[in-house]
């Protein structure tokens, strides 16, 4: 019987795991700063009001969320700044 060489990707250190839409939205909202909505609107060519509504969870838009997530990825959370 041949053993499988597949490894369990969720338990290995340094493995890549794709975040869900809701997880990304929570991360963006925990790390959002002044000017993020307008900068994301300029980068994605959507209106700032629509971007704000996407980030509040009213509408779903992967392109806007991914751009906002890329801006907030390396930041500390707002609760840690206080």
Q: What is the DSSP string of the chain?
A: -PPP----TTTSTT---PPPHHHHHHHHHHH--TTHHHHHHHHHT--HHHHHHHHHTSS--HHHHHHHHHHHTTSPPHHHH-
Looking at residue 4, what is its pLDDT?
A: 52
pLDDT at 1: 55
Q: What is the pLDDT of residue 67?
A: 95
- Residue 14's pLDDT is what? 63
pTM of the entire structure?
Answer: 0.74
pLDDT < 70 positions in the chain: 1-14
Q: What are the boundaries of each domain within the chain?
A: 33-75
Query: What does DSSP assign to residue 79?
Result: H
């Amino acid at each position: 019987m041949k053993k499988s060489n597949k490894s369990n990707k969720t338990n290995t250190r340094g493995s890549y795991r794709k975040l869900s839409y809701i997880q990304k939205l929570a991360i963006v909202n925990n790390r959002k700063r002044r000017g993020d909505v307008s900068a994301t609107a300029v980068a994605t060519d959507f209106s700032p009001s629509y971007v704000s509504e996407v980030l509040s969870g009213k509408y779903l838009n992967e392109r806007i969320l991914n751009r906002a997530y890329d801006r907030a990825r390396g930041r500390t959370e707002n609760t840690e700044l206080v």
